[in-house]
């Protein structure tokens, strides 16, 4: 091998890395990294999801974890070495005492710039897929054979009644279904609890015009991708049908029409007492692991405005809005300016309503076509597939970038987007729209990961605002509601027959406080957000989303949320953690930050 090829440089670094790990030379390992470096680990070394910034933090983690992790057989993946702009990168594989894992390395100036390590399977407890799939039937002539419908009916009848589940997942939307499918393939007895009549009803109940703003290539669920004929942007009712179908195809055990009332953890038994209402009766479950998969937010947040109760028209939160049908010629006020607000305004306009958007704060807007060009299109598209980037590989490439690096990348991306779409943004501002591109210039790319931040992926409503088809009021707020409409704090008045509050949702910790207790919610702390130091996401910087898909400070409590891409990718990691605990596999969690657990 030539000593100056990308492959040779990667192989040399990995060999040195392996030797120093084997000799437990943690300071020596730290010396292989540049000062501006980041190691993002997902379970492989830390049994958590942690980003370590700088050689000192890396050495500190290894000093605590290395002896029990025992990494071995670290080897470069053939054909993975590439080089561009002074950065050499490639993939490698390795094992620890408990997991098979992959890694990704970026070298800059001979030192590691970024390192990504991720557990892919539990050794001896791999997913029952591919060559490990179940036979499904025992061939031969067998007296008294029970066929699949009988066996399946018995499983459904027993779980949660005569046989306790190891894990209960509250919520059977995309997050709950993805996790349930992973746990099923790992042999973890799991029951999903869903308040709607069907898994897809959370989508069906939203406004009729709702359509996924992310393209189909990003949205596959585990084990069962969408058909190749599936539309690029999925209508919400079609998504609902797919989730129902997915639940059946994955043979998931779901109690639909069931409300979770309360939960309490018994430390002496290491199990939860979960009380639910089902079919008019109260039932009690005792899982060891409890997952809240109701999304990253809690109940609808509706602002307290004087005079609300006096309004003579219709008012609702965006989560309860269905359609603009019936509002033709009516005067409608939509409070908010993020995705839902834009979609609802456009829907009302299509039905002939007179619509005013009330923008409370500046909003990041990016055209859908531009997002495909600069973001999703490079990893998730037909072109990416033709280039050999599978969905799984795209997920790993995306995950290999620490958030600190993503911030730098997105600043450059949005500088270019703003240049290319300067006329579009000038027209929006000319209509009075308040634009921002994040406090740090990273656009929607990091806003999504920050608490309380919003944006709009433009699929048509911006044109209506520019052309004044949707009226816009900005730099004002509602001072008071009266029967005929709303008084604004600048002294003006908007007559209204409909008010829609597209004002977001309460944070997840309020749902934890309601279901479990305020004390547990306080112990768990903030949910979501990176600690980026922005107005609604105060520091300290953590480098990962708080409390998501990893152990929380409350034993046996897990949080699963996010979009379809995150549901697919992180469900594997969360399922592995739950399976490891079921099997009694040691899972010592590295406490990179004081708020993280030690259990």
- Whether 517 is covered by a domain: the verdict is no
CATH of residue 66? 3.10.450.50
Burial (CB count within 10 angstroms: exposed 0-12, middle 13-18, buried 19+), residue 67: exposed
Please check whether residues 495 and 387 belong to one and the same domain: yes
Amino acid 2: pLDDT:
56
- Beta-strand relationship, 111-122 and 99-108: antiparallel
Give me the residue label for tokens 């992310």. Answer: 214
Whether the per-residue pLDDT at 534 is higher than 70: the answer is yes
Please check whether residues 450 and 425 belong to one and the same domain: yes
Please check whether residues 292 and 413 belong to one and the same domain: no
The candidate with the shortest Cα–Cα distance to 17, out of 104, 98, 79, 85, is 104
Cα separation, 356 vs 2, in Å, equals 66
On whether the CB atoms of residues 202 and 196 are closer than 8 A, the answer is yes
Amino acid 147: pLDDT:
87
Q: Tell me the average pLDDT across 106-125.
A: 97
Other Cβ atoms within 10 Å of 469 Cβ, number: 13
Amino acid 27: pLDDT:
94
Cα separation, 576 vs 47, in Å, equals 10
Amino acid 12: pLDDT:
96
Please check whether residues 263 and 159 belong to one and the same domain: yes
Question: Cα 396 vs. chain centroid, distance in angstroms?
Answer: 15
Q: Tell me the average pLDDT across 12-40.
A: 96
On whether the CB atoms of residues 229 and 207 are closer than 8 A, the answer is no
Please check whether residues 155 and 232 belong to one and the same domain: yes
**Average pLDDT of the chain to the nearest whole number:** 93
List pLDDT tens digits, range 132-149: 999 888 888 888 888 889
Category of 250 on φ-ψ map: left (φ > 0), alpha (ψ -120 to 50) or beta: alpha
Whether the per-residue pLDDT at 78 is higher than 50: the answer is yes
Cα separation, 546 vs 571, in Å, equals 16
Please check whether residues 367 and 494 belong to one and the same domain: yes
What are the structure tokens assigned to 67, written together? Answer: 């002896």
Please check whether residues 64 and 209 belong to one and the same domain: no
> DSSP letters of 302-368?
----TTGGG--SEEEEGGG---STT-TT-EEEEE--SHHHHHHHHHHHHTT-EEEEEE-S-BEEEEH
Alpha carbon distances (Å) from 441 to 40, 377, 536: 23, 21, 15
Cis, bond preceding 540 (omega within 30 deg of 0)? yes
Please check whether residues 421 and 368 belong to one and the same domain: yes
Whether the per-residue pLDDT at 203 is higher than 80: the answer is yes
- Whether 590 is covered by a domain: the verdict is no
Please check whether residues 79 and 205 belong to one and the same domain: no
On whether the CB atoms of residues 170 and 292 are closer than 8 A, the answer is yes
Q: Pick the last residue of a domain from 439, 470, 505.
A: 505
Amino acid 598: pLDDT:
39
Amino acid 599: pLDDT:
40
Please check whether residues 239 and 337 belong to one and the same domain: no
Amino acid 375: pLDDT:
76
On whether the CB atoms of residues 418 and 348 are closer than 8 A, the answer is no
Segment (H or E) for 480: strand 478-482
- Return the minimum-mean-pLDDT range out of 86-90, 105-109, 368-372: 368-372
Q: Tell me the average pLDDT across 492-521.
A: 95
Q: Where are the beta strands (DSSP E) in 527-590?
A: 557-559
Amino acid 13: pLDDT:
97
Contacts of 113 (CB under 8 A, 6+ apart): 34, 36, 37, 38, 87, 106, 107
pLDDT band at 296 (very low <50, low <70, confident <90, very high): low
On whether the CB atoms of residues 338 and 361 are closer than 8 A, the answer is no
Cα separation, 89 vs 94, in Å, equals 17
List pLDDT tens digits, range 344-399: 999 999 999 999 999 999 999 999 999 888 877 889 999 999 999 999 999 999 99
Amino acid 136: pLDDT:
87
- Whether 589 is covered by a domain: the verdict is no
Cα separation, 468 vs 345, in Å, equals 12
* Structural domain count of the chain: 3
Please check whether residues 313 and 292 belong to one and the same domain: no
- Beta-strand relationship, 354-359 and 505-507: unpaired
List pLDDT tens digits, range 407-436: 888 899 899 999 999 999 999 999 999 999
The domain in which residue 41 lies consists of 6-122
Cα separation, 570 vs 559, in Å, equals 11
Give backbone dihedrals phi and psi of 324, rounded to 5 degrees, phi first: -80, -5
- Whether 520 is covered by a domain: the verdict is no
- Kindly state the percentage of the chain with pLDDT values over 90: 82
On whether the CB atoms of residues 38 and 115 are closer than 8 A, the answer is yes
- Whether 537 is covered by a domain: the verdict is no
CATH of residue 318? 3.50.50.60
Cα separation, 280 vs 104, in Å, equals 52
On whether the CB atoms of residues 154 and 253 are closer than 8 A, the answer is no
On whether the CB atoms of residues 253 and 271 are closer than 8 A, the answer is no
Angle between helices 564-582 and 174-185 (to 10 degrees): 40
Cα separation, 243 vs 237, in Å, equals 10
Please work out, in degrees rounded to the nearest 5, the angle formed at the alpha carbon of residue 165 by the alpha carbons of 164 and 170. Answer: 125
> DSSP letters of 246-284?
HHHHTT--EEESEEEEEEEEETTTTEEEEEEEETTEEEE
Alpha carbon distances (Å) from 6 to 38, 105, 394, 398, 524: 20, 12, 21, 21, 44
- Beta-strand relationship, 254-256 and 190-194: parallel
pLDDT band at 197 (very low <50, low <70, confident <90, very high): very high
- Whether 512 is covered by a domain: the verdict is no
Q: Pick the last residue of a domain from 87, 122, 157.
A: 122
Category of 255 on φ-ψ map: left (φ > 0), alpha (ψ -120 to 50) or beta: beta
List pLDDT tens digits, range 428-468: 999 999 999 887 788 877 777 876 667 899 999 999 999 99
- Maximum alpha-carbon separation in the chain: 84
- Whether 523 is covered by a domain: the verdict is no
Q: Which 3 state secondary structure label does DSSP give 502?
A: coil
Contacts of 276 (CB under 8 A, 6+ apart): 193, 255, 258, 259, 260, 261, 282, 283, 284, 285
- Return the minimum-mean-pLDDT range out of 114-123, 372-381, 483-492: 372-381
Question: Cα 357 vs. chain centroid, distance in angstroms?
Answer: 28
Segment (H or E) for 36: strand 33-42
- Whether 595 is covered by a domain: the verdict is no
Category of 120 on φ-ψ map: left (φ > 0), alpha (ψ -120 to 50) or beta: alpha
Please check whether residues 249 and 372 belong to one and the same domain: no
């Amino acid at each position: 091998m030539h000593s100056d090829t990308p492959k040779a440089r990667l192989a040399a670094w990995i060999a040195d890395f392996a030797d120093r790990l084997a000799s437990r030379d943690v300071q020596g390992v730290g010396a292989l990294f540049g000062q501006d470096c980041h190691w993002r680990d997902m379970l492989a070394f830390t049994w958590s999801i942690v980003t370590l910034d700088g050689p000192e933090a890396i050495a500190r983690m290894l000093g605590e974890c290395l002896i029990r992790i025992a990494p071995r057989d670290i080897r470069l993946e053939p054909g993975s070495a590439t080089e561009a702009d002074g950065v050499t990168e490639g993939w490698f594989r390795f094992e620890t005492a408990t997991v098979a894992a992959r890694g990704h390395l970026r070298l800059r100036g001979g030192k590691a710039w970024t390192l990504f390590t991720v557990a892919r399977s539990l050794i001896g407890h791999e997913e029952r897929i591919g060559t490990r799939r179940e036979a499904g039937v025992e061939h031969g002539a067998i007296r008294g054979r029970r066929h699949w419908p009988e066996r399946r009916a018995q499983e459904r009848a027993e779980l949660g009644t005569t046989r306790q589940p190891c894990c209960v997942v509250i919520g059977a939307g995309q997050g709950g279904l993805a996790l349930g499918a992973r746990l099923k393939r790992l042999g973890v007895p799991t029951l999903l609890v869903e308040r709607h009549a069907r898994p897809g009803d959370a989508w069906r109940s939203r406004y009729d015009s709702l359509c996924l703003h992310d393209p189909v290539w990003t949205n596959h669920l585990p084990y069962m991708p969408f058909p190749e004929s599936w539309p690029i942007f999925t209508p919400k009712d079609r998504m609902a049908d797919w989730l129902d179908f997915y639940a059946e195809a994955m043979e998931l055990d779901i109690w639909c029409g069931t409300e979770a009332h309360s939960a309490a953890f018994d430390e002496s038994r290491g199990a939860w007492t979960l009380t639910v209402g089902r079919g008019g009766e109260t039932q009690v479950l005792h899982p060891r692991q409890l997952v809240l998969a109701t999304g990253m937010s809690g109940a609808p947040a509706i602002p307290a405005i004087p005079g609300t109760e006096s309004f003579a028209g219709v008012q609702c939160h965006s989560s309860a809005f269905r359609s603009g049908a019936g509002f033709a010629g009516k005067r409608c006020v939509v409070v908010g300016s993020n995705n839902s607000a834009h979609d609802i305004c456009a829907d009302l306009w299509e039905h002939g309503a007179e619509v005013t958007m009330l923008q409370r704060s500046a909003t990041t807007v990016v055209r859908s076509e531009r997002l495909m060009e600069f973001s999703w299109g490079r990893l998730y598209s037909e072109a990416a597939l033709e280039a050999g980037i599978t969905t799984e590989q795209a997920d790993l490439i995306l995950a290999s970038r620490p958030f600190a690096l993503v911030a730098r990348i997105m600043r450059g991306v949005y500088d270019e987007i703003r240049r290319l779409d300067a006329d579009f943004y000038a027209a929006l501002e000319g209509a009075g729209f308040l634009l921002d591109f994040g406090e740090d210039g990273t656009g929607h790319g990091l806003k999504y990961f920050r608490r309380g931040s919003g944006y709009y992926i433009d699929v048509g409503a911006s044109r209506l605002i520019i052309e004044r088809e949707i009226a816009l009021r900005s730099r004002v707020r509602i001072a008071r509601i009266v029967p005929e409409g709303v008084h604004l704090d600048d002294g003006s008045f908007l007559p209204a027959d409909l008010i829609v509050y597209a004002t977001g949702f309460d944070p997840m910790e309020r749902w934890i406080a309601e279901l479990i207790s305020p004390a547990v919610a306080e112990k768990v702390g903030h949910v979501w957000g990176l600690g980026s130091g922005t107005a609604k996401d105060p520091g300290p910087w953590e480098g990962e989303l708080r409390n998501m898909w990893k152990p929380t400070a409350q034993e046996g409590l897990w949080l699963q949320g996010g979009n379809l891409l995150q549901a697919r990718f992180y469900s594997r990691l969360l399922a592995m953690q739950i399976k490891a605990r079921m099997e009694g596999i040691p899972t010592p969690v590295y406490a990179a930050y004081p708020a993280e657990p030690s259990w």
